[in-house]
Amino acid sequence: MKCVLKFYMINRVLLRIKIVQILYSFYKGDGKSVPSAEKELFHSIERTYDLYFHLLLLTVEITNYAATRIENKRNKLRPTSEDLNPNTRFLENRFVRQLSSNEQFNAYLTKQKLSWVNEPEVIKGLYEEIIASDFYAQYMKAEESNYAADKDIWRKIFKKIILESEDFDNSIEDQSIYWVDNVEIVVSFVIKTIKKFEEEQGAFQPLLPMFKDDEDADFARKLIRGVLTNGEQYRELIDQHAKNWEIDRIAYMDILIMQVALSEIMDFPTIPVNVTLNEYIEIAKNYSTDKSGTFINGVLDNIVNQLRKDNKLIKVVMFSDKK
């Protein structure tokens, strides 16, 4: 029986971030329409899903590079005993072998034409950092070799080397404008995927779907339309409740984040207000100024209290909505 992964690639946290990013470009640009913004959003989501597979492919490419290095040493004019009898544990990693034969993985790579062929220096640099690490040395000299250790080494590689590599970051930025801001979150999903791999699944190990279901795609579509349709109304609310602040002195990203948050608060009656507030406060902390989280929380809290007082806020109580 095939296992089913209990998570998915494009969750609502990432969707909210994507919508803020797309709207930032939309409002800064000229001549765009609501349909074009929506199209750009879903194109960006698809490219982020590409990144998930592209990063998984990195495990195979680095392993292939390691194999080439070993073969070159064997074929030297005067190979040493170590050259002729290398430790091949890294090459024989069972997780990478399983992934490289995965049907879903290979079908997607073929369809999207994803490859690291133009980034040989990145592959080389990452491999050299890997073999210089303490955890690699421990893995290679361990008395026992097992599937769990083969997965664990790659989780460590992604967390401690790939995420920390400046050359890798530069490469990702050069390869796609849609990838650079989402590397960290996509790497987290790659790590979760590795953890969920089961050896008995073989080539049929399921990878993450793009969405959990159609509901999340509908959420993204409705949210971006709501901001674009009612953005001016939400901006007026922000202006009214941003006490002691002139609207043109507030950070542009803060205004945008609050507009998206208000669209979610008004248009999604089953999402508790505190959930929405917490999500956008976190986005503000990461994408705006140091004080933005506190400022946005205060303004939105004032707006929500006024909307409730005026009976303009309708929420379906699914569970506690209290802050």
* Contact (Cβ atoms closer than 8 angstroms) between residue 104 and residue 43: no
Dist CA 194 CA 235 (whole Å): 43
Residue 4 falls within a domain, yes or no?
no
Same domain, 242 and 299: yes
Which residue range forms the structural domain that includes residue 255? 214-309
Q: Are 257 and 288 part of one and the same domain?
A: yes
Domain with residue 237: its CATH number is 1.10.940.10
pLDDT at 318 > cutoff 80:
no
Specify the number of domains making up the chain.
2
pLDDT in tens, 186-205: 999 999 999 999 999 999 99
Here the tokens at position 286 are 């990461």
> Could you tell me if 60 and 195 lie in one domain?
yes
What tokens does 95 get?
């997780």
Residues 115 and 243 in one domain: no
Does residue 34 have a pLDDT over 90?
no
Count other C-beta atoms under 10 Å from residue 154's C-beta.
25
Whether this model's pTM surpasses 0.75 = yes
How long is the chain?
Answer: 323
Residue 32, domain member (yes or no): yes
Rounded CA gap, 323 and 40, in Å? 34
179 and 253 share one domain: no
Whether 7 is in a domain gets the answer no
φ and ψ at residue 174, rounded to 5 degrees:
-70, -30
Q: If pLDDT is split at 50, 70 and 90, which confidence band does 142 have?
A: very high
Q: pLDDT by residue (tens digit) across 299-308? A: 999 999 999 9
* In a shared domain, residues 180 and 34: yes
Has residue 3 been placed in a domain? no
Alpha helices in 4-133 (DSSP H): 12-28, 34-74, 81-84, 94-100, 103-112, 120-131
Q: Hey, what amino acid is at 206?
A: P
Please give the torsion angle defined by the CA atoms of residues 157, 161, 288 and 189, in that order, rounded to the nearest 10 degrees.
-10
Chosen domain end from 157, 185, 204: 204
258 and 146 fall within a common domain: no
